[in-house]
Structure 1
Amino acid sequence: MATKPRRIGAAKAKRAAGSEHYAKRIISIEEKERLYRRWIDRMVFDRKANVSGACLHFYSNTDRWTREWDGNWFFMDESIRSHGKLLAIDTGRKGAKPMELYDPVSRTLIFMDAGYYGWLKSAALALTGDVLEDNHRIFSVHGALLSAGGKGVSLIGPSGTGKTTLSYGLLLDPCVKLVADDWHFFKFVNGDATGYASEKNTYIRADVASVWKEYKRLLKGAKLDNRGRAVVDVGRAIGKNKLEMTAEMRFIVLLQRDRAQPIVRELDAEEAVDYLVRNDYCNPHTLQSNAWKRKVRKEAFLTLFKRCRILLLNTVETPEQSLQRIKDFVGL
């Protein structure tokens, strides 16, 4: 009996998109200070993390995030002053909805009632990205970065388009190494665009192993959270030699799911930037989008894309078929 092809389904896309729904608001430093004073003495968990060279200070009034946080990030010397603060607060109110409050003056992000580590991880990266963007012209990409034969391949797309599935499928190729599976940073160095890893270990969905059986060993024994995810050391499953911290960005694969559109199309830099702008840079976690931020981001991505070949891939086919199209594009 023929097996029905597996697809990156619309139902998964709908669930993934819905998972990003929480309210966000910019607050004044005065409001931040009131909230900070109200909650700071109740914090039972307190860590500093090294996120791409920035020091992020994390506090929480619950220790439920201890395992994920400590496994996810590189440690930072406790004597280093922080570049930003993230407070994860469980208010204890029944039915409380998640709320993210950000003070850009003090670089303090207060996340009320997150209930899900994935949001806190993305909040940590968004906060770090806000600091690096303003002070160091280092920009965030909500997407995977792999090194294919020494050339960086960035996969970017809205939630549910198969970014994670295709990244881990590509990683199975012997010539491919992982830099980041969900979020990376980039900056321009001597005319080249260099992409950087953001995390020590990856926060991965268990269902990746349902598509690529090779990852079952990676998730064996992992303690999954309430969203079926776990922080794991990918190097234990595929070998430490399959991990890299940086890659020169040469290929961009933009993802979409639209049966009315072609399966593949190469884009020029301007078309690719238009795609990102229309899709809010495929990053629902961005903290600020004022006129200045929009200007510098657009300029940075235009400069990046002029240095890369760009493919718009419609992931309506099976993961195996979409993966082969990426391999053909990057020359694997």
Structure 2
Amino acid sequence: MTADRIHLIGSSPTLKVAAKAKALKEQGVDVIDLSVGEPDFATPNHIKEAGRKAIDENFTKYTANEGILPLRKAIARHLEEEYGLSYKAAGEIIVSNGAKHSIYNAMMAIVNDGDEVIIPAPYWVSYPEMVKLANGRPVIIQTREEDGFRLTPDQLRDTINASTRAVFLNNPCNPTGSGYTREELEAIAEVVVEEDIMVIADEIYGKLMYDELKFTRFASINDEVKKRTITIDGVSKAYSMTGWRIGFAAAPAEITSAMAKVQSHATSNPSSISQRAALEAYSGPQYEISKMSAEFEKRRNFVLHKLQSMPRVSCPMPRGAFYAFPNMSAYYKMEYDGVPIRNSYGMAYFLLKHANVAIVPGDAFGSDDFIRISYATSMANLEEGMKRIGEALAMLKPAPKRKLIKLANTDTVVKHPAPVDWNVKVEMRDAIVAEAEAYLGHSSYFEWNANINGMIVQLRTNIGHLYDFWVENWYPAQLEADIEPHGVIYAVEGVPGRESHAFYNSDTKTGVVFNSDHYGTLRSLALGLTTDVAERLFDIHAIRALSMDINGEGVLFIGPSGTKKTDLFWRLFQDDEAAALHSNDYLFVRYGGGYAAADNPERKMYVQTNSVKAYQPLAKLFDKSKCENVITKVEDCRSDEHRLQESCPLNSGAPYSYDCAKKSHAMLDPYWLGGMARHVKRIDIRHVFIMRNDPVSASMQKLDLEDALHTVEAGYAAGTSAGGAQHAFYNPHLLVKTDERLELQKRFFTKLFQSADVYQLNAGTATVTEMAQQVLTHVSGNGR
């Protein structure tokens, strides 16, 4: 239902924590919220009056897309008078809906597909997400606590490569409060000019610097630096105007013009009323800033003193902003009431539950050893909050030594199956293979022959993860020079100019996968190739289905996603000891005199890990399996159930969660589920259940041959998600889709439906438990 780009980003962790704290307060819980990222002071009166005056004067219409000119002139004057920076109000300054919006516009304006943007960690949570939304690649540099979390010139220089487009420089920094001296900025500027990269200088906290440290705008270093810098600022923090949503960018005209184009099609101008208020903020009295800054410095000193007096806690001195970023990792191997603290999310959960204090886990900012504490709240709240944190930490005791499970998990770059072109001509196949072979160097070449239902398919790859899963997935075949495989698949990464994509030529039985380390793509291509060979040479029918043996009767469940067939499959396995697994995805069928003998071609099952919701014992088996894309960070959780109920195990410190995403898999040995008694390699298909999900049809009804053929040929079931892909015969692994081949599939299914009884099961009018009972009753009565 949603675009692929949405799966690349997570919700803002800071907003989620704030929402949780607010919800608890509304329930009457005495929560001290130290997670907020906004000043607790009121907007100064003269600024509020300017907003009211704008309303009274009916200044409520559209304005210029880039912001009203008087405001841009005021910003230009402010930059010149305070920092010696000269910008043209008309052409080099654009006003947006907050500094966050300005940064987003900048990313969309300067980042091309595949460009790298360097982000020093700890970082503000939205930087990587904005880079990804612009189809760029965030490259994280871990700064060090002993360096005060400041980026060093050597770190920057060592990270820059030919793909580097820009670097973020947040000064002062959210979440650490670190700030840079002019000398430190000059050293970084030398690298920027030498390497000719852009700088996004996020300086929203620039007026909140402490200990008489003078704030230096990065663009003010020299003219060469200025022309490579996009200065980001706004009124939210310094003037306590977070809800007014006014930010700005100052940059060369070419860049602000590009940003203006993006803004014109996204939001157009910021609020006219807020712009008038911001004009007053920059043009009017500035004494309120000094008062707020002095109060923040006082609070910082108090919080820092309390943190440094806590055992096992370290915290660098914040130079600006209103955050402290203490290191809590010494407590991560401790526990309370039998519940261990494993990471910053576990610490945040512990403090919220047992101290009623809301903080933000450091992992949200790319640094899991830390937590963020905001002192943008009253001194009374800080005194009580720090007291509670100290008391809660004192409750933690060393945890008994446990053998922690180290998950064999690979986080792939590509998360989804790549598209496949299946009708590639021989000439194009030759060119593609030559291109693939050019990137199969000797130092990273893997080759292995798989026996897939009696057919030998050879993998040639430079991707270790694919090789590992390939060897686990299939039965081995001989790898001798004189044995000619039935088909060959190349899987090659590092090919410039190629998107993640797959190709197949049926004449030569050759598949090629470019720039995809996602095993699902390779496996599907292998099954499709084998299906092509099996149909043409051996008259074997390939079916995409879940299959099992129940009391000697072969049973198939066919249908699209959204019909609860997987839940039904595992429920039957759980409830009936006479049920034995056959295949969780694909089988090859040979037809004879009244029988349909189905073989499972896979040695191990490629199983979605969220199947643990249907059958909990799988979790312990996944712990010792090779896994792919299991979620280890709460911001990557894709479970609607977790989001609605705020129940993600990662929130409470679990190191990983199997049911956070539909796209995570494990390579499961089916014999671990009960040995030979619970897993069979061949079944005689006697019962076929075609799944649907609609609120009208009967929960179970017999289908005649014509209706059954029509249903599977269309590859559609009423009531299922319209966002899901529709595949003929419910088989996304079919490669060759000529009319001749589709007609062959239809003839095969005719034989199947003549050999077995066919029923429709409707998840829209029956629960999983009810459907399981219907299946067992039908099979035990032999159904005929």
- TM-score, length basis structure 1: 0.88
Counterpart of 1:290, as a letter, is: T
1:28 aligns with 2:425: yes
Greater RCO (CA < 8 Å, at least 6 residues apart): 1
Task: Give the 4+ runs in structure 1 shifted more than 3 A.
Answer: 18-21, 91-94
Task: Kindly state the Cα deviation for residue 266 of structure 1 after the two structures are TM-superposed.
Answer: 1.1
The residue number in structure 1 matching 2:460 is 59
User: Bigger CA drift: 43-52 or 153-162?
Assistant: 153-162
C-alpha distance in 1, partners of 2:514/2:447? 16
Task: Kindly state the Cα deviation for residue 91 of structure 1 after the two structures are TM-superposed.
Answer: 4.2
**1:20/1:284 contact within 8 Å kept:** no
Q: Which runs of 5+ in 2 are unaligned?
A: 8-414, 630-662, 716-727
C-alpha distance in 2, partners of 1:20/1:143? 19
C-alpha distance in 2, partners of 1:112/1:152? 38
| 1:186 partner SS | strand
Task: Kindly state the Cα deviation for residue 93 of structure 1 after the two structures are TM-superposed.
Answer: 4.8
Q: 1:200 to 1:315 in 2, by over 3 A?
A: same
* Alpha-carbon RMSD: 2.3
Q: Deviations over 1:21-63 (max 9, x none)?
A: 7243411111111111222253312111000100011111221
1:323 aligns with 2:772: yes
**1:217/1:237 contact within 8 Å kept:** no
Task: Kindly state the Cα deviation for residue 261 of structure 1 after the two structures are TM-superposed.
Answer: 3.0
The residue number in structure 2 matching 1:285 is 733
The residue number in structure 2 matching 1:72 is 473
Q: Deviations over 1:200-248 (max 9, x none)?
A: 0101111112222232332233342123211011211322321111111
**1:208/1:215 contact within 8 Å kept:** yes
**1:146/1:178 contact within 8 Å kept:** yes
Counterpart of 2:452, as a letter, is: V
**1:249/1:308 contact within 8 Å kept:** yes
Task: Kindly state the Cα deviation for residue 19 of structure 1 after the two structures are TM-superposed.
Answer: 5.4
The residue number in structure 2 matching 1:184 is 587
Identity %: 23
The residue number in structure 1 matching 2:682 is 246
| 1:194 partner SS | strand
Q: Which has the higher helix share?
A: 2
| 2:570 partner SS | helix
Counterpart of 2:429, as a letter, is: K
| 2:549 partner SS | strand
The residue number in structure 1 matching 2:234 is none
The residue number in structure 2 matching 1:200 is 603
C-alpha distance in 2, partners of 1:116/1:161? 25
Counterpart of 2:570, as a letter, is: Y
**2:466/2:517 contact within 8 Å kept:** no
**1:170/1:176 contact within 8 Å kept:** yes
The residue number in structure 2 matching 1:258 is 694
1:217 aligns with 2:666: no
Task: Kindly state the Cα deviation for residue 278 of structure 1 after the two structures are TM-superposed.
Answer: 0.7
Q: 1:304 to 1:237 in 2, by over 3 A?
A: closer
What does residue range 1-332 of structure 1 map to in structure 2 within 5 Å? 22-43=419-440, 44-79=445-480, 80-93=483-496, 97-172=499-574, 173-226=576-629, 227-279=663-715, 280-316=728-764, 317-331=766-780
User: Bigger CA drift: 155-164 or 63-72?
Assistant: 155-164
Count of aligned pairs: 317
**1:194/1:246 contact within 8 Å kept:** yes
Q: 1:315 to 1:39 in 2, by over 3 A?
A: same
Q: Which has the higher strand share?
A: 1
C-alpha distance in 1, partners of 2:584/2:737? 24
C-alpha distance in 1, partners of 2:595/2:626? 40
Q: 1:68 to 1:163 in 2, by over 3 A?
A: farther
C-alpha distance in 2, partners of 1:302/1:247? 18
Task: Kindly state the Cα deviation for residue 189 of structure 1 after the two structures are TM-superposed.
Answer: 2.8
Q: Which runs of 5+ in 1 are unaligned?
A: 1-9
| 2:617 partner SS | helix
Q: Deviations over 1:249-294 (max 9, x none)?
A: 1100111222343322210122111111111100122111112112
C-alpha distance in 1, partners of 2:538/2:677? 30
| 1:235 partner SS | helix
C-alpha distance in 1, partners of 2:623/2:550? 27
Counterpart of 1:287, as a letter, is: L
Task: Kindly state the Cα deviation for residue 304 of structure 1 after the two structures are TM-superposed.
Answer: 1.2
Counterpart of 1:326, as a letter, is: V
C-alpha distance in 2, partners of 1:246/1:25? 30
C-alpha distance in 1, partners of 2:434/2:583? 36
Task: Kindly state the Cα deviation for residue 185 of structure 1 after the two structures are TM-superposed.
Answer: 0.7
